[in-house]
Structure 1
Amino acid sequence: MLSRTAFPLVVSALLIGSAAADTAYVRPSTFTPEKDQTLTVEVSFSDLCCEPSYSVRTDTFAMIGPDGEAASPDRVEVFSNTTILEHTFTAEGTTRISTGERLGRKGEYVELDGKYHLINSPDAEPIEIPDGTPILSSQTATVTDAYVTVGPADWGAIRTQVGRLAIEPLPHPNSARIGELFAGRVTLDGAPVAEQTVLLTNEAQRLRNADGVPFQTDSDGRFDITFSEPGVHLIMVRLQAPAPQGAETDIRSYTTALTLSVPAD
C-alpha cells in the first residue's frame, strides 16, 4: 500500500500500549435523566479522566437510541478545549452517546517482532530498527461512548456496533457499583482480543496524581474490574491493526473508551 523502507539504524519510536495519552471521554450531566430531560454532554480529549484538554471535532457524533437507531445530537458547540453536545431524551430505555468512529491524525510506524512502534514523532522514543524495515503509514480511529438510561435499562443501543474495536460491557454499564465485579469484553471486528491491556482511570486518581490501573484480557477477550471508589471512570483500550480495505493508510491505531459513573451508595 503506502509503505516505505527504513534505512537508519536508530530512529524515534514508541511501543504501542504505553501511557494512555489523548484519550477522548464523553461525560453527560447525568447518567440517569428523566424522560424529556435535556442534557449537556462534555466531549474532550485528555491525558487524564476527565479533565478537558482539547475539543473533539467530528461530524460523526451519534445518539443511538434503545431501538439501535442513530440520530444526530440536537446541538453541537465546539470550543477550544471541549465540545458540548445538547440533546433531549424522549425515549425510555438506554441511549448510547457516541463520537462514532472518528478518523484523526496520520503517522508512521514500523513492525518489529509482531509489535508496532511509532516513529518520526515528538511522542516517540529511540529504538534500533534494522535496515530495510518497511515504514507503515497509519491513521488514528477513535470511538468513545457513554450510556444514559431513562427508566428501565435495556440493551439495544449497547449491542449496536460502532467502529471495529469495541468494549462490550457484560453487565449493563449503568449497573456499575463499588465493590461489585464489572466485566467486559474487547473485540475487533466482533472477534475477541486476547492478552490486551485495558486501562482504568478515574477522577480521584487524577486528583491524587496517580496512574491508571491496567487489566489484561483473557483468551476470550474478557476483563474483570472491581471499582474501589465512586465517581466518573474511563475504561480505555488501544491497539494497532491492518487498516480496512480502501483505507488511505497501511494500518490504523484504534482507541476505544467507555465512560462510566459509579455511585457512592
Structure 2
Amino acid sequence: MALAFLPAMPAAAHAGFLWPVIDRAEEDGTVRMMASFSDDFPHADIALKSDHWTIVDPEGTKRPFETIASSNSRTFVETALTAKGTYRLSSGERLGRTGQAALIDGTYRLLGRDGLSVETLPEGTPVLTSQTATVSDFYITRGEASDTVLDTRIGRLHIVPLQNPTNLVTGEPFEIQIVFEDQAITDQRVTWFTPSGSREEADPETQLQTDPNGRISVTPLTAGAHLLMVRRIASAPEGAETDVRSYTTVLSFEVK
C-alpha cells in the first residue's frame, strides 16, 4: 500500500522541468527542449540528465530522442515530429539520490529535513532506505491536437491531463488528475507555479489539494510558463535497492 509522504517544504522548490527552446512543430517539425533543475522555473540551474528520455507519439508509441547533449546547467534533447497530433516529451522515470526515511504516525518522513534525524527519532522507530524517482513532462502538438497520448503511463506517480495541455488559454480551466499506480489520490498536495507567482513550495498561493476523485482544476490568469508538481513517497517496487521511493512528477506547460 502506498503511504502519503508529506514533504518538508524547502524555501524554494527545486523542480526538474522540460521547456522548449526551439519549436518548429508547425514548420519542419523540429523541436529542441531544455531540461534543468532549478529553484526559479523556467530559468535553468543544474542539468537534468536521464537514461530514459522518451517521446510518446500521437498513437501512444514510445521512442527515444535522436539528439541529447548536456552542459552544466541544462540538457538539450531534440527530435523531429513527423505525424500530426499531440506528443508527450518526457525525461522518463529517473532514479536519483539515496537517503533515509522513517514511518512516523502512519506517514513516511525523510530524515535530514525538519529536524528529523536518526538521533531524534522515537526509540525503536525503524530506519528505512530511500531513493528519489522523478518524471518531468511537456506536451507539444503538430497540426491538430489529439488526446491519445494524455493517458499514457511513465513511472508510478502520474499527473494525468484531463484537457489537452497544448490548447490552454488564460481564463479557461485546466483539470488534472493525480494517479498512483492506477489509483486516484484524494487529498494529495500539488504545487502550482505561475509566471509571476511565488517559487516557494511552502507558500499558500502555490498549494492545491486534490478532491475525492484525485482531481484539481486550475484557471491560469497569466500567459506564459506554468508548472504543476506532485510529491509522494511509497514502498519501493519489488526488486528495488531501497525500502521506499520518494516520487516527484512535474508537468510544465505554456498558457497563451
Q: TM-score with structure 2 length normalisation?
A: 0.90
Counterpart AA for 1:193 = I
Q: Aligned equivalents of 1:253 and 1:149: distance in 2?
A: 31
Take 2:72 and 2:56, find their aligned partners in 1: how far apart are those partners? 26
- Report the equivalent of 2:16: 24
CA distance in 2 between counterparts of 1:202 and 1:31 reads 21
Of 172-181 and 130-139, more deviation after overlay is shown by 172-181
Aligned to 1:188: 180
Residues 1:54 and 2:43 aligned together = no
Unaligned runs of 5+ in 1: 1-13
1:152 and 2:144 matched: yes
**Change in CA separation of 1:176 and 1:31 when aligned onto 2, cut-off 3 Å:** farther
Measure how far apart 1:203 and its partner are: 3.3
CA distance 1:139–1:47, change in 2 (3 Å): same
Distance 2:76 2:70 in 1: 6
Question: Judging changes above 3 Å, is the alpha-carbon distance between structure 1 residues 206 and 80 closer, same or farther for their aligned structure 2 residues?
Answer: farther
For structure 2, list consecutive stretches of 5 or more residues without a partner in the other structure.
none
Alignment of 1:28-107 (within 5 A): 28-29=20-21, 33-34=25-26, 36-107=28-99
Kindly indicate whether the alpha-carbon contact (under 8 Å) linking 2:24 and 2:31 is maintained by their aligned counterparts in 1. Answer: no
Give the 5 Å matches for 1:126-205. 126-127=115-116, 128-205=120-197
Aligned residue for 2:241?
248
**Residue correspondence of structure 1 range 188-227 to structure 2 within 5 A:** 188-205=180-197, 211=203, 213-227=206-220
Q: 1:130 to 1:68 in 2, by over 3 A?
A: same
Equivalent position SS for 1:157: helix
Distance 1:115 1:176 in 2: 36
Q: What is the Cα deviation at residue 204 of structure 1?
A: 2.1
Whether the 8 Å CA contact 1:204–1:231 is kept in 2: the answer is no
CA distance in 1, matches of 2:232, 2:21: 30
CA RMSD of aligned residues (A): 2.1
For residues 191 and 179 of structure 1, do their structure 2 counterparts lie closer, same or farther at Cα, with a shift above 3 Å needed? same
Distance 1:22 1:35, change over 3 A: same
Judged with a 3 Å threshold, the aligned counterparts in structure 2 of structure 1 residues 31 and 38 are, in CA distance, closer, same or farther, namely closer
Q: Matched residues, percent identical?
A: 37
Q: Aligned residue pairs: how many?
A: 246
Q: TM-score, normalised by structure 1?
A: 0.87
Question: What's the offset of the Cα at 1:36?
Answer: 3.0
| 4+ residue segments displaced more than 6 Å | none
1:157 CA displacement: 1.8
Letter in 2 for 1:177: V
